[in-house]
Structure 1
Amino acid sequence: MRRGISIAAAVTVIALSATACGGSDDNSSSKPKAAKDISGTITYWDTSDAATEAPTYKALIKKFEAKYPKIKVNYQNVPFTDVEQKFKSAAKSGKGAPDVVRTDVGLIPEYASLGYIAPLDGTTALKDTSDFNTTPMNTTKYNGKTYGVPSVTDTLGLLYNKELLKKAGIDTPPTTWDEFIADSKTIKKKTGAYGTYLNPDSYFLLPLLYSNGADMADTSAKKITISDASAVTALTTAKKIQDEASMKVDFANAYQNMQTAFKNGKVAMLVQGPWSVSDDLTGKVFKGNEDNLGYAAVPAGAGGKAQAPTGGHDLTVYQGSKNLDASYLFSQFMTSTESQVTIATATGTLPTRKSAYTSEVTSNAKIAGFKPILEQTARPRVALPQVGSLFTPLAQNYVKILQGTSSVKDGLDKTATEFQKLLPGYSIG
């Protein structure tokens, strides 16, 4: 799940390129042990919400230990904001790394390139991969190998206040960015509410980039594409949304203010993810009126199609684990259909297996709302080890563009130059 980096930090922090580290990716061994013969202790780092989600994962671990009594699991809940640096430090030093870690999908290429996580092809962890939905399964790949098991998934969609749209005389949510801007103006004129609140975090810019045929880079051509004509179109549209459709953006506290405005009915539409829904439903316009919250795909660009980044988490296995067999078995158990149904039912997170979308699971309005959005629009981010670092210079220059201290073209040209420092061997397309 990608909630976005701090905009205030993005303006000041300079990205550092990933440092390569050696490590074998050959996990072939003699004939795998039968599950009943596997024993030992493994450590699992879980990044789920400690209060609302972790109890479900702990209960599943007890079931795993009951089914495989020779294996003990040392469960540790690690905050999502801390786990990346903590895992990289432990893996690099070879001390204190967990056997299995719940990993943001955007980190798979970096961890794999550094030799920190094990390829899982042919292991127990990847049993019955045909049941996984294609989009989350694609997040596990790097250089032709599979390094994760899809656990939960998400994407960005368009959340909207049905009553405000109806009051403005709008029957259906907008399907293009031009309609989005036009509808926002109509909403403001007829209801007094703003059409949207533009999130200035660079992750939330991706639907605009993707829907206009743009991206950060082209790995096959080894080109940086963030400053090409389609990206200029996308950023020009973003600036227009801010100027003509959005409530005034507080760059120091954008995410919280955006959420508050939406929950209180001052904003009609947001580009947001399923992780926000529980918070949304606490607002005065949705609490006790959950059906007022609408779900739709992000709008499409001119001549393009609606696309948004795939988010979520995969289970990954530490390359240096002393108990790989138990780690593989644990990863398989925690991502099985039965486990995913349990997790989705209890936490409202979206499963990655087709078979886990049971009637019980899809009775959750959030899951039912985002399921078609995932199927229609979700796509992986560019598979580069440095992809996480790329968001920082993009965010810095995106903010300057929105604030009017840089033109769209100059801001993207500067972003491309910064990207080139992070991507040796890449040319600016």
Structure 2
Amino acid sequence: MSYPIDRRGFLRASGAAATAALGLGGALTSCGSANVGTATLSWWDYFTLDNFQPGMTRLIRDIEAGVPDVKIERRSFPFAELERQITLGAISGDLPDIAIVDNVSMNTLGGSNLLADLTDRAERWGQADQYYKGPWRGCQVGGKTLGIPNNSNCLALYYNTRLLKAAGVEPPTTWDELASAAQRLTSGDRYGLALSAIKTEEGVFQFLPFLWQAGGDLDTFGTYGATALSFLDDLIAKGSLSEQCVGWTQQDVNTRFLNQRAAMQINGPWQIPTLKKADFEWNVVALPRDKEAATCLGGENWVLMANSKHLDKAWEVLEYTQRPPVLVPYLVAFGELPARKDLADEGAWASDPALRLFLSQLPLARPRQYGAHYAEASQAVAEAEQAVLTGSPSPSAAAKTAAVKIVKALGEQ
């Protein structure tokens, strides 16, 4: 997912802790006893919320009915725990056959030798060109295919149509237009724009599009990071963006938009079900661009564990989940977007204008694929943004400080 929580730094935990921590997961096991010759596959994910259970239960039933001789034993962990449990499982010897992981986890897990190399299987399968470039690239690590996209999402700009019309403002398409619109839409306790700049991966997820739109990337943060930081800092200086954004999650941002205390917000498609209950009209457009257009890729990937005794059967399950009659109902139930281009005209996103807007942005969506030490680089970005937006160092000074840490982290591959 693209939402909350910084989930790194767990690599030093012990095998004993792993055994104890595994009790956190709630098991959802399919009914019935396994037949002789049936492969029982262990499956881990972090979809613990009640609203996910009907869709997940249906998917597992579909798999057990459609893939011969397979039984699924599922365990779900809190979002912030799954990657840690997989890492600890390498010590304790308790690992799943199949897991659904956040796409950012490919940075850490991809360099750990825990994930099965699916390159040859994927080539024989021949479906790679059916996926959007960003989601598929997010499964590539060190020249190998280590996963298959499960679903995708990205960021865009929501706006309150009445407020923009009353202010005579058109939906912005560039940074200059965004800054001007945010200033004109700011009134009283209502800010023109809301976004998340919290000191976690969630905030970095929202910041990276500004860096990319400026024409830069992590390896040029000293220059282009300063540009992106300056733009956001200026929004706060002009009163168009609240300094409190340094503590807001994306859910907090959406709440401000729903309360009409923000005329525009940067957020993802997972907010649409809640927004449909709003008592005002809203719409969504692509993120405004600077030198280029860009948005950040969120979503999950399927992965298999290298030590699985049932790799062939587990791969058969992954292939089966990608069949449209199976995949479309699953994605609709979860409120997610397909990572596959060939499903663009199926499912709820085919008729929902807001979902179609997000879908149209997936070709521009970039994965956060920077190697095993991305967590350190991400932390440096978050610290720089926090410092600048709370009025400490200048954007240039903060970017240069962060750049040193980022270059070191990216060089430790």
Distance 1:182 1:50, change over 3 A: same
The structure 1 residue matched to 2:119, chosen from 114, 118, 121, is 121
Is 1:239 aligned with 2:233?
Answer: yes
Distance 1:182 1:78, change over 3 A: same
The separation in 2 between residues aligned to 1:135 and 1:101, in whole angstroms, is 20
The total of aligned residue pairs comes to 382
Alignment of 1:153-192 (within 5 A): 153-171=152-170, 173-188=171-186
- Give the counterpart letter for 1:194 in structure 2: Y
The separation in 2 between residues aligned to 1:297 and 1:38, in whole angstroms, is 51
SS for the counterpart of 1:321 is coil
User: CA contact under 8 A between 1:341 and 1:357: conserved in structure 2?
Assistant: no
The separation in 1 between residues aligned to 2:145 and 2:343, in whole angstroms, is 21
TM-score calculated relative to the size of structure 1: 0.82
Shift of the alpha carbon at 1:284?
A: 4.0
Distance 1:425 1:79, change over 3 A: closer
SS for the counterpart of 1:113 is coil
Deviations 1:158-201 (A, max 9, x none): 11111211111123x11111110101112225x97321123212
Shift of the alpha carbon at 1:149?
A: 0.6
User: CA contact under 8 A between 1:136 and 1:352: conserved in structure 2?
Assistant: yes
Where structure 1 has 5 or more consecutive residues not aligned to the other structure, the ranges are 10-14, 20-36, 218-224, 286-291
Shift of the alpha carbon at 1:354?
A: 2.1
The separation in 1 between residues aligned to 2:392 and 2:411, in whole angstroms, is 29
SS for the counterpart of 1:151 is strand
Distance 1:274 1:265, change over 3 A: same
The separation in 2 between residues aligned to 1:143 and 1:297, in whole angstroms, is 31
Is 1:96 aligned with 2:94?
Answer: yes
SS for the counterpart of 1:358 is coil
User: CA contact under 8 A between 1:211 and 1:306: conserved in structure 2?
Assistant: yes
Q: Which sits farther off after the overlay, 104-113 or 414-423? A: 414-423
SS for the counterpart of 1:122 is helix
User: CA contact under 8 A between 2:107 and 2:369: conserved in structure 1?
Assistant: no
- Give the counterpart letter for 1:80 in structure 2: F
The structure 2 residue matched to 1:363, chosen from 351, 355, 360, is 351
The separation in 2 between residues aligned to 1:74 and 1:270, in whole angstroms, is 40
The structure 2 residue matched to 1:300, chosen from 283, 286, 289, is 289
Give the aligned partner of residue 212 of structure 2: 210
Give the aligned partner of residue 24 of structure 2: none
SS for the counterpart of 1:43 is strand
- Give the counterpart letter for 2:2 in structure 1: R
The separation in 2 between residues aligned to 1:382 and 1:54, in whole angstroms, is 29
Deviations 1:101-154 (A, max 9, x none): 111112213212110101112226955222222221111111211111111001
The separation in 2 between residues aligned to 1:69 and 1:110, in whole angstroms, is 33
Is 1:195 aligned with 2:192?
Answer: yes
The structure 2 residue matched to 1:275, chosen from 270, 275, 294, is 270
User: CA contact under 8 A between 1:46 and 1:101: conserved in structure 2?
Assistant: yes
User: CA contact under 8 A between 1:112 and 1:118: conserved in structure 2?
Assistant: no
User: CA contact under 8 A between 2:181 and 2:192: conserved in structure 1?
Assistant: yes
SS for the counterpart of 1:2 is coil
SS for the counterpart of 1:152 is strand
RMSD over aligned Cα atoms: 2.6
Distance 1:267 1:311, change over 3 A: same
Shift of the alpha carbon at 1:370?
A: 0.9
Q: Which sits farther off after the overlay, 124-133 or 100-109? A: 124-133
Shift of the alpha carbon at 1:324?
A: 0.5
User: CA contact under 8 A between 1:161 and 1:294: conserved in structure 2?
Assistant: yes
TM-score calculated relative to the size of structure 2: 0.85
- Give the counterpart letter for 1:231 in structure 2: G
- Give the counterpart letter for 1:233 in structure 2: T
The separation in 2 between residues aligned to 1:231 and 1:325, in whole angstroms, is 45
The structure 1 residue matched to 2:304, chosen from 317, 325, 335, is 317
The structure 1 residue matched to 2:374, chosen from 367, 387, 393, is 387
SS for the counterpart of 1:346 is helix
- Give the counterpart letter for 1:79 in structure 2: P
The separation in 2 between residues aligned to 1:359 and 1:142, in whole angstroms, is 30
